[in-house]
Chain A
Amino acid sequence: MFFIPAPVISFLTFPGVIVHEAAHQLMCRVTKTPVLKVCYFQLGNPAGYVIHDAPSSGWKHFFISVAPFLINSILGVLICLPVALATAAKTSVGPVDVLLGWVGISVAMHAFPSTGDASSLWGTLKADTTPWLLRIIGFPVVGVIYLGAALSMAWFDAIYAALICFGAPVVLLEMLA
């Protein structure tokens, strides 16, 4: 397996790390959860983090945990869209496309929540007060996060980014054609 140290990947894709942590913080603000400390980017492990108070409900905790997945995925796809369309239309790409492609892929690569997110969500889901619906939704989500983290050794985050940024528009075009 082609191995690149995590800090190097984080450095090369730093816009994604910043968006990831900002998404956590934004959702903390939306759910009125106190934030104690935010690190948007560092050359270490983890590349960034948000330390916040325990949310007042399990649902709030769930949305704080999965916010980067939604925000990074949507932003990544939209920023990369002209590059994907140019590729699908087999037209040439310019320097602006290279920039958009790099930012889009970087953002989408950091969509998956970390194992830290998963473990804190796991703790909330196990609590007696957690609603059953949240458990039904939350436990598979935690499982998928752990699976994604395990597969990240096999470039899963990059594969996911490529699939949603370049595969999804092509599938959409095929459906519309």
Chain B
Amino acid sequence: MSLPPPLPPSSVPEPDTAPNACVNCGSIRFSTQTKLPVCEPCRASLIKHPFPFWVKLTSATVVVLLLSSLSLSRERFHAALHLATTKKMAKQERWDEAYENFRGLMAVHSDTETLLDYAEAGFNSGHKREAAQALTTLSGRRVSKDEERRYNTLIYQFQLEQQQQRQPVMPLAPVNVSPIRLNP
């Protein structure tokens, strides 16, 4: 919050007795550049109002945090961008590229959404066994409505394909909707 005058209590002039000297040092020469009852040297010193030591210390801490933040961000930015790029590939149905990228990401990502992305990319790029394996790892997890829908769609696609080929691509029994629990 930044406030214009009134002046702080210590330097507020009495309403009926206008000061005839600088309220800070007693000089009789008032500054012409301010309406404050202060002389020019005192006005200059008010411009350079000091930052207390603890504020300087706090500022230094903030600067250290900022530098460590920038250092950490540099490493994480590439990982985040890689994941975002891969997800975009999947969105654009560039399945082969998306699958290859997701395969590399699986070493560090085990969250449900990325596993589903990986399974989708695997299924659509012809890597069905890998996709099915990814789906089996989801058993027993708590998932959102949307994740459940995506999971069920993939299972349905697997079952549809099995019916068409009359030959299972992989044993589907362990991959079932039932082990997936919804969020309460």
Interface residues of A (CB under 8 A from B): 15, 18-22, 24-25, 28-29, 32-38, 40, 46, 48-54, 56, 61, 64-65, 75, 78-82, 85-86, 88-91, 96-97, 99-100, 103-104, 107, 113-114, 116-117, 120, 123, 169, 173-174, 176-177
Contacts and interface: CB of A to CB of B under 8 A. Distances in A.
A173 B84 contact: yes
A51 B3 contact: yes
A121 B6 CA distance: 15
Contacts of B77: 85
Contacts of B166: none
A85 B70 CA distance: 11
Contacts of A65: 2
Interface in B29-86: 33-36, 38, 43, 46-49, 51-52, 55, 58-59, 62, 65-66, 68-70, 72-73, 76-77, 79-85
B136 interface: no
Given A49-B3, A88-B83, A25 B69 contact: no
Contacts of B108: 91
Given A80-B69, A99-B65, 17 more contacts: A15-B62, A22-B55, A24-B2, A25-B51, A29-B47, A36-B7, A38-B49, A49-B2, A50-B3, A52-B4, A53-B4, A53-B46, A79-B69, A82-B73, A88-B83, A88-B84, A90-B111
**Most chain A Cβ neighbours within 10 Å, of B1, B3, B8, B108:** B1
Contacts of A46: 1
A122 to B, nearest CB: 11
A33 B47 contact: yes
B36 A34 contact: yes
Contacts of A20: 1
B2 A54 contact: no
Nearest to A87: B80
A141 to B, nearest CB: 13
B109 interface: yes
Contact of B66 (A25, A78, A174): A78
Given A15-B58, A116-B1, A173-B84, A35 B49 contact: yes
B120 to A, nearest CB: 16
A97 B76 CA distance: 12
